């Protein structure tokens, strides 16, 4: 995992379905998903998050924890959605990076999201390894975390 794939809001773009689809060109299986190279590489605000934050929009901060309003209402609501549906927390990520540094964060993320079967990175949006379990998504395009 790479630092440039950790977005200012605390999202780890390497877990994102739009990033993983692009990385492995998964639309070749007949999907029609938007591809995204990650928040920092694309130099625009994330399409999923729909941020309306001026500070982030202008690239004033590398991470939200540098902001006087951290964690703002917008970030809290994003965080709640991700904690409820996608097994991760942006705010927790940001606090960990702030307190322990990027290197430790990336190590922790690699361990947390490693596919036990093949070692690739599991996607947080569906809980699947798109390397070895793409069949699950082919059977049910809306599959998410075992139908939770």
Does 1 contact ligand SF4 by CB under 6 A?
Answer: no
> How far, in Å, CA of 66 to CA of 25, rounded?
35
Does 67 contact ligand SF4 by CB under 6 A?
Answer: yes
Nearest to 36 by CA among 62, 11, 56: 11
Per-residue x/- marks for ligand SF4, 31-60, CB under 6 A?
-----x-xx------xxxx---x-xx----
- Position among 12, 78, 90, 131 found at the interface with Zn ion (CB under 5 A): 131
Nearest to 148 by CA among 119, 127, 129, 121: 127
Does 18 contact ligand SF4 by CB under 6 A?
Answer: yes
End-to-end CA distance of the chain: 27
Does 117 contact Zn ion by CB under 5 A?
Answer: yes
Does 135 contact Zn ion by CB under 5 A?
Answer: no
């Amino acid at each position: 995992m790479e630092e440039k794939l950790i977005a200012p809001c605390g999202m780890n773009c390497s877990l994102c379905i739009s990033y993983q689809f692009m990385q492995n060109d998964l639309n070749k299986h007949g999907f029609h998903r938007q591809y995204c190279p990650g928040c920092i590489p694309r130099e625009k605000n994330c399409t999923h998050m729909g941020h309306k934050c001026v500070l982030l929009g202008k690239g004033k901060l590398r991470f939200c924890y540098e902001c006087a309003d951290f964690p703002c209402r917008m970030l809290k609501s994003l965080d709640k959605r991700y904690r409820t549906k996608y097994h991760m927390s942006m705010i927790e990520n940001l606090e960990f990076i702030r307190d322990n540094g990027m290197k430790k964060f990336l190590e922790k993320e690699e361990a947390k999201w490693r596919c036990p079967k093949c070692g690739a990175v599991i996607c947080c949006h569906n809980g699947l390894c798109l390397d070895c379990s793409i069949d699950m998504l082919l059977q049910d395009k809306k599959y998410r975390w075992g139908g939770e």
